[in-house]
Copies of this chain bind each other. A is one copy, B any other.
Amino acid sequence: MALPVPASGKRTSFLLAQLGAHAAARFADRTQALGLTPAEAGLLRLIGRSPGLSQRAAADRIGAVPSRIVALVDALQDRGLITRHRSRTDRRNHELHLTGAGQELLGRLRNVAEDQDAELLAALTAEEARELHELLVRLADHHQLDRDLHRGL
């Protein structure tokens, strides 16, 4: 199936990349107001969803290299948002958990994400927003984008 150039002059791939970069940048603005980088915010969410996971597991889920996790964990730990202690069953592993402050910040992060979606989709009706979401889910599934994070976010 050949896809002609859309009348708008911009291809769907380009629009998607442009809007995606915009959404990521706006999200970065909002997390920065909470004192987090987007990557730190992503790791915080992941630990909230999977308490006790190892740094290696976090690296795999995020699609990052283990050495990158070290700096992120350091930053979150220094701010008192997570704890890192050795596993008793395998002393090579570090188990990551949220602190109370981490849980609290995670809650605020969820509000931020909700605000972000509302702002992004303000030009659409509720029905159109649902349609868009469903189409994007189909694309993400088709391209097997099952990671919890991605480059640039």
Contacts and interface: CB of A to CB of B under 8 A. Distances in A.
Contacts of A128: 135
Contact of A16 (B10, B113, B136, B147): B136
Contacts of A138: 123-124
Contacts of A10: 137, 140
Interface stretch (A20-28, A53-61, A90-98): A20-28
Interface size class of chain A, counting residues whose CB lies under 8 Å from the partner chain: 35 or more
Contacts of A16: 16, 19-20, 23, 120, 136
Interface stretch (A1-9, A68-76, A80-88, A100-108): A1-9
Contacts of A129: 3, 12
